[in-house]
Each structure stands twice: as structure tokens, then as C-alpha cells.
Structure 1
Amino acid sequence: MARARIPSRPNHELVFRSARKGEEGTLATVAYRAFQAGDPEAWLRYFTEHAHLALDNVIVAETDGQLVGHVSSLDLTMSFAGADVPFQGLASVAVLPEFRRRGIADRLVRESLRRMRRRGEALALLHPFRLSFYRRFGFGVCELRDVVRTSPDRLPDSVLRRHVRAFSRPRDEPLIKQAYDLARADTTGQLSRSDYWWDVRVFKRSPSGAVYVDPGSKAIAGYLLFDVPEGGAYGVQQLLVRELRAPTSGAYRGLIGFLGALGDQYEVVELVLPRGYGAPLLDEPGIRDEPMVYETAARHPGLCPPVHTAHRRNVLGLTAAGAMGRIVDVAAALALHPSPRKHGVRGAIGLDVEDPVFTDAPRAFDVTFAARGVQTAPGSTAGDRLSLSIERLTQIYFGATSARDLLSQGFVVGSAKAAALLDAAFAGPPLFLGAYNGF
């Protein structure tokens, strides 16, 4: 049974406005009470020191003079098929526990999207606490990650691991940044990182790592940063790779080979990789954590027959949902995408777009792919058309799926020719942010 939503009483009208100077402490308190994560001081630093957050882009919900919720919109830039593209990072959607189930979070997100559109923003991304909540606003899953959990000795070995050494921040920080920027080329989703981002969001979270030194140039050509959760004894510890950047095949094989040589210390290595990168690392079916399941079954034979509890080294490989995205302004977003011009796509299609937030905006567009870029105008004269939701259009835009697949599955209706042209226009590397580009 669905839980009832308690409406706000008429004499407790909600007011939505931008946050003001001096309210940072209250914002931090609301965030801490809403999420019960981090600490109040960390949240205060978030609202006072974040290099990508302006108070004007923090919307608060207020009733009877009390600040009861807020949402932030970060000014960020990411790589997009070889170009740098600005976007808004929707974050910190927080409502005090005693004001939940009144539609406040819903209204905060809608107000944030409306303000983005008025500012001329084209794209928004977020990391969802629940997919279904954000789908109602037109967000779709746009980042798909390959997650691999394996015993180190099941990873492919390589003699190139001899060129890997420990990461030292005083010595390697500028070289790591150069390697990251080099690896951003021809990717989609890698942030343009400020010094603030590197310090607070990367190095403070993961001070341990390794670098691959190219044997020819002697320059750092790749790196990985990792965490080791506390509590595990030597031999059964877990190593969680938070970031692996290797723009050359040698660097990638060397770093994977380095991880593969750590089997004496670590029972499990976990990697989160761009979609498609996990498949070459899988050599056995099964679940890496099977020993714990089997041992539990052996201790409780009434539940299932005892089974052999020998150490299993199977690999767990799965695809996980990452960031969600949303096109805020169709015409602006299509003009921003670098791939149509890069691939020389030519032609005209029509798009009939259903949008649950901007219901008064035009929903029929004529789109022309030409040498000077993409031109989009309200209209319905183009013969080859597609009818789809803003969620599905966003997923096609970011390469999470194809228009032709959605057409064959019935999630998009219309012309196969239009679907093929849209796929050609948006062809490129799929969106991948990874852990340390999260916000």
C-alpha cells in the first residue's frame, strides 16, 4: 500500500527562494539531519568552500520562517566526445525528516530545473538515491558501469607491471593531473577538475595508489587510486579501486597486472570501469562472494544440503547504474553536442518530445543536421519523426542506448530512418564519470 502524502496546511505556505549569505550554517544543519552522513562541519565547508557552488544556485524551501529543505546546482564542465561541455550537477536534495511526504523534495527539483532553463542551461546530471524518484522529472539512467569483483590472481598478468611504482603525492600530483587530462580526450563524462576538486574530492579520499611509468619516455602514463577498508586481516583484505586512468594500452595492462600480483595480501579487488571494459577481465562464471554463502549453508543444513566450502575464486561481473541525466533545453542541448559536426552527419528529422516538467514548452521540433551544426526549431514539418519522452531522448544523447533499440522495443515510436540518423549524430563514447567525478 502506498504511503499517504500529507499536504501542507494552507496557513503553512511553502516559499521557494535562493539561499542567502549567512544561512550556510542552517543549510549544513538541514543537510546533516536529512542525510545523517558526514558531519555538520563537513557540510558547512560544502556550503562555504565549494568552488563550484554559488549560493544563488542553492534553492531553499521555507515555511513560517523555517528553512525545511534545499537543493544545490553545481556549475561543472565535462568532456564530451573530445570537447568540453558545461552542465549542472543537481545535488544535496535535502528535506528535514519531520517535513517528509509533503511533496517538498518534488517541488524543489522542479523549481531547480525551471531556474536552470531560465539561466540558459542545457544539461543536468545527478546521482540518484532512488531511480524512480528522479524519473518522474524526466531524468534517465545515462551512465552504465562495469563492476568487477575478483581475486587478484584471476586478473590477467603482464610483464608491464614492472613499470608500476607506488604513488607519492608530493612527487606525483602534477604528473597525475597531466595523465588525467590526457585520458579525458575522446571520453564523455570526465570532469574538468579544479584544484579544489583534486584536493577535496580526490586526494583526501584516496591517498594510496600506484602509477605506471612509461619505459620509453619515463613519464607517468597512467595511474590508479584505491582504498582498503579497515578491519580486514592480511590475506583477506579488500582493495577497492576508486579511479583508474590509462590512456595507453601499455599503462592499462601494466596497472591491471600490478593488481593481479597482490593476491597474497588481498582476497578481493573491486574495479568500477566504463561499460565494456569489464568483459575482458571475466574468465569464470559465478559470484566472487560465494564462499560466505556456502559456509552459511554448511552451518545450517536444515536450510539446504552441506556443500564444499573450499576457497572459490570465481569472478563477479555486473553492469550497474550510475549517474542520471536530463536534457533541460532541447534546442540548446542538440546544438551543444559535438558529435554531429565531428561525424559530418547531414539530414533532417522531427522530434515529438514529452516532458513532465516543462509542460507549456514546445514539444514538436524540426531538427536539421548541417555543416554549421545542429539547428532546432519548434515545428512539425519534417517527415521522418520520432515520438519519445525527454528521458529516452537524454539516454540516446548520452550514448546509454540507441534510438533503433528503443524503437524495436516500443519505447520510441516513429521512423526507422529518423532513429538511424539520430544514432549516427550522437555516436561517441558512452558517459562515464566514475567515483571521483561524483558530486
Structure 2
Amino acid sequence: MPTDMKTAALNCREAADAVAALSSSAKRDLLVAMAERIEASVPMILDANALDMRLAEQRGIGSAMLDRLRLDAERIAGIAHGLRTVASLPDPVGQVTRSDTRPNGILVEKVRVPLGVVAMIYEARPNVTVDAAALCLKAGNGVILRGGSEAIHSNRALAGLLQQSLVEAGVPAAALTLIDDLRRETMVELLQLNDIVDLAIPRGGEGLIRFVAEHARVPVIKHYKGVCHLYVDRDADLEHALALLIDGKVSRPSACNALETLLVHADVAETFLAAAGAALSSHQVEMRGCARTRQILDRIAPASDEDFAVEYLDLVIAIRVVDDCDAAIAHIRRHGSDHTEVIVTQDKQAADAFVAALRSAVVMVNASSRFSDGGELGLGAEIGISTTRLHAYGPMGIEALTIERYVLHGSGQVRHALPQVQSGDG
């Protein structure tokens, strides 16, 4: 990669034109070839990841980030599967999303086209290298990848494999540009290239996202922390609620769609919290509760007001007893991060009120917060979960990496006819 950031970005922009020119079948074949190359290179990828893991452990990196960093054969198989899934999705480029003939006979269409160059800035997760590349390329874009130092060897291995497939398909390797220079100054330079880079998407800790937002001149779609809530209503099926709680908190606590707060209606608090406390304890989950919660679960730590705004990304959960659905909504509005909220209830009126009152990117009724994921929502994969209210909100798939432009078809219509000039006799 060129050492000059602007040169690297310009090379990616030029290569993006080659990606945009690919047919739907060519893009599909390219992503399938990438999946096959990854499947054939598992030992090499694992070796690179093992080096990252050793260095991360020596640096004292926390368990949540270590889990995000770790690759194994199953996770690599999942990465390849994600490539194939994205490959099989309908091509959004060229889709006509509106068609209307005006009274003057002009046909007005809105058509999806690629964004251009997407800068993906992320931490820890090597799978993001592949997911971001797959989605950007499928949508006809070039992509600049700036991962974290903790995953540099894994990212180099994966990006190198993907670039080999690009070159074999006749596309310049620069269409997928991995930034090796991980200094903050280089990131700032990238974020200032508003005449080259069309969109920046930061994905990682809150500090990284704020840094990107504060220094960027390019448009930014932010993925802030995931303070996800589960509210157990008075009319909840408590067996279902317990299953959703354990799945949401325990199945992968380092994920941004993991539960961080449990809210329980006062009418069912004693019954539900007794079962929930035992189940959470059996999974070594640390509980922090409000005063009413600690009257039922007296051995847990008290929860401060700040505890209810924390994205723990670990086996820790904050618990509050609330008087009703309105109180649960008020709590989420105060402490939430607009990521994912869940209500468990058999009362349709309560469910409808919960959904209508909250503006979070994903709101669920009687389903685990862990379904707040691009793959689970049929997007194939996700480049991130937007908590910024722009053209994309929530899990972002390939359509979110395109924009809609107007294309008009006329037959010589003019808006204002010019007056006829009268010629003289002489």
C-alpha cells in the first residue's frame, strides 16, 4: 500500500470504478471465490490470529475484546458462509425504487447506485475485515479498512486473501485497501479526505467512535454503545422471559446486541427475579440491582444510576423493578443508546405502546436481543449497526451501502419555452 494516505485513497477510488462496472454475476462469482480461498487457508489464518491473541494477552487486553479478536475453525467457517450469503443476495445496484410519470410525460425514477469509497474503521474483530469487504464490493463500492493494532496480523492475512481473488477477477487490489499505518495521525488524515472518501463507518468502543466523529470531514454513520434492555411486562410468559434473558445476556456477552439491563414489572418481580437470579448466578453473571430488586435478591450489589447507562460487554447486568410499561419506557429513554430494546408480554396493547414510544434502531416483541444482527435479519452480514438517524438506521447491509439518485426519461420536454424572436423585414 502506498505510504501516502491520499494516494492510497485515490487508488481505491479509481479501483472502485472497476467494482461498479462489474455485473451482478461477476460480483457473485468474486465473493464465492473469496469464500473458497478463505476455506483453503484456515491454518494460515489461525496462525496469524494466534500471534494477535498472544500479543493481546501480553498487553493485558480485556476478556470482551479477546473474545472479539479470537478466531477458530468454526468462526472462519462462519466468515466464509457470510461471504456466500452476501454473494447470493439480490444486487441492489440498478434497482428502481420509484417510478412515476409526470403530467408532462417525463418518467421519473429513483435508482440505487454505489456510494463510491467507504472507510471502515474498527477494533478487534477480524471478521469485520471480510464482512465489510463483502458488503462494500457487492454494493459496487471500494473499501478502505483501518482495523485495530490488536488484530493487524489477522487482518493482513484475511485482506491479502481477498485481494488475491480481486486480482484474479481483473479488479485492482486497491479496491480493498487495508491501512497498515495505525497511527492516529493517519486515521485523521483519512477522515479529512472529503473529496475522495464518501462515507466513514466507525465500529468499536465509544472512544473510537467519538474520535472519528470529532475529527471527520467526511460523512460518518456512528455505531455507539449497545445498552440493550429487556423489559418483562406484567402479562409476560415468564418461562419465555427467562429464556430470552439468558440468551441475551449469556450466549455472547461481548456482542453489542447482548443485554445490559433487565427491567421487571413490579407485579411479577418477586416471582420472576427469584428464577432469574438463580439462572444468572448459575452462569456466573454479576448482578447489580436497584433498591426494590435487592429486597428480592438481597445478596447482589447495589446499582448506581451510572450502572444503568453502561455497556458492560461482560457477564454483568443491571436490574430495575418498574411500576408499569410507561416506567420501563421512561427508563430506556433516559439510559438507552438507541440500539435494541425487547419487551416480553402477551398484552398486544402494551407491546404496541412499547414499540411506538421508543425510537431505538431495533425494537422486539418476545424475541431475543441477539437477533439484532444483519445476518439474522436476512442482510447476509452487516457492516455495523447504525444508531445515527440518517439514510441507514439499525443493522446495515448492502442496500445501506448504496444511495438513490433520480433518473429522468423525457422526449424533449422543456420547463420554460422561450418567446419566439420576430425577425424584421430588412
More strand by percentage:
1
* TM-score, normalised by the number of residues in structure 2: 0.27
* TM-score, normalised by the number of residues in structure 1: 0.27
